[in-house]
Amino acid sequence: MKTIHRRTFIKDSVFAAGGIVAAPAFVNNLITNSPNKRVNIALAGISGNRPRVRGMISGRGIAHINGYAKVPNAIITKICDVDERLFPAAVTEIEKLYGARPKTEVDFRRLCDDKDIDVISIATPDHWHALHAIWACQAGKDVYVEKPVCHNISEGRKMVQAARKYNRIVQAGICYRSSKAVKAAVKFIADGKMGKVYMGKGMVYAYRPSIERVPDSPIPEGVHWDTFLGPAPYRPFNENRYIYNWHWFWDTSTTEFGNNGIYRMDTVRWALNKDTHPVKVHCTGGKFCRDDDQEVPNILFANYEYEDGTIIQNELRSLPSNPEGLADSGNCFIYSDQGWMTISPGGFKTYFGPKNAPGPKMSENDIPEEERSNGWKNLIECVRSRRLEDLDNDILKGHMSAALGHLGVISYRTGRKLVFDPTTEKFVNDQEADKLLTRNYRRPYVVPDEV
């Protein structure tokens, strides 16, 4: 496949309402390491969580808006979305928090072209993450990219390559990594206080109502549907494939494993100190009890085996379920020869021996508000310092954790246990599974072979 750079794409394609635009000068801006340097941020993706609610902003977009508002001398100066109906509410909210009105764009490239933008914060749907992040890196911008980082394993690796090639700070938006209580849990294990760990488990119990069946309809005024689809195949407009419910279709989704499971898998992988891929994966499940438009499964059970025998499990239940004690304990579990630990964004608890005697614990609420961090604050600190080693969740870590969800889904879709080569990031003697490591891209929205 021919390599297409962002600048070539700008010259050769019509991307949004603005039509064909000339390629601007390539920007490779660098922030000085002054802690007081103002950082200008562009936010891509402000679409709300609830379909058919006109003008609402919520979800990850509003989380970014609120997150950067807590960072001194960082300001959102531009916002970008394919749905112009959302701009008034977003502009009002940002002006209230930051004291200045952001400019609005439909075309993501214009964020890349703006020499005054230092950081692009990506809260767009999963199928756009890779292209947006790669273009931003090529333009010399630092990046915050939302979970689950990428739509497939190949994209994740190319995002890592782009970050390294263009010397960019790229934060994977998997928020547990910034919790001081979770960091303390990982250190507790690393210090040997749990004994010998052998298994970790992540559990996603997120009830999802039926999305019903919705017929295709005319594209609403203000919605740039072709741009929304981007790399995905073109389909007629359908509300069920748009705001939030795009999570439940293969063209745009990474399933609930990517939507929420990645928080658990990233934490468990971190706690077990696994910086490589598993060598075996087996995932079963299906779509149960729903007669609606949803394509992806609502029940999944994945088992990952590492070269040293360590096991990670990932479980999804999106139908009514017993809570399994999650409300009291957390959603990540680490098991050792001496006991077990539960971890959640709010902290950790430990239990020891056959009678589960309570051990050390820590709550995020025990940490003074002014000492707490978040991924957005950590990113801006690293943008100023250029110290990649201080970044909570560098894109390589995000790629490794996202791959767990992708591997599980590939096993589910092929219907069998798979053997994976961590070095080549290919399956062993399985061409059918290898095809699912990437996707067929709709031109011109193609992730290039070389970034």
Please choose, from the candidates 193, 200, 192, the residue with its C-alpha nearest in 3D space to the C-alpha of residue 361: 193
Rg (CA), the chain: 21
228 alpha carbon, distance to own chain's centre: 17
Task: Please report, for the chain, the start and end positions of each structural domain, with discontinuous segments joined by +.
Answer: 6-175, 178-212+227-368+393-435
Alpha helices in 142-271 (DSSP H): 153-165, 180-190, 225-229, 255-256, 262-271
Whether domain 178-212+227-368+393-435 has CATH 3.30.70.260: no
Burial 335-361 (b: 16+ CB within 10 A, else e): bbebbbbbbbbebbbbbbeeeeeebeb
**What is the distance between the alpha carbons of residues 430 and 413, in angstroms, rounded to a whole number?**
13
Q: How open is the CA angle 447-387-24, to the nearest 5 degrees? A: 45
Which pTM was predicted?
A: 0.92
Q: How open is the CA angle 64-297-204, to the nearest 5 degrees? A: 50
Strand residues in 23-166 grouped as ranges (E):
39-44, 74-80, 103-105, 119-122, 142-146
Query: Which class is domain 6-175?
Result: alpha beta
**What is the distance between the alpha carbons of residues 327 and 345, in angstroms, rounded to a whole number?**
12
Q: How far is CA 366 from CA 49, 341, 357, 363, in A?
A: 31, 18, 22, 5
What string of pLDDT tens digits covers the 451 residues of the chain? 444 455 555 444 333 333 222 333 344 445 555 667 899 999 999 975 554 444 445 678 999 999 999 999 999 999 999 999 999 999 999 999 999 999 999 999 999 999 999 999 999 999 999 999 999 999 999 999 999 999 999 999 999 999 999 999 999 999 999 999 999 999 999 999 999 999 999 999 989 999 999 999 999 999 999 999 999 999 999 999 999 999 999 999 999 999 999 999 999 999 999 999 999 999 999 999 999 999 999 999 999 999 999 999 999 999 998 877 665 666 999 999 999 999 998 899 999 999 999 999 999 998 888 788 799 999 999 999 999 999 999 999 999 999 999 999 999 999 999 999 999 999 999 999 999 999 999 999 999 999 9
**What is the distance between the alpha carbons of residues 174 and 326, in angstroms, rounded to a whole number?**
20
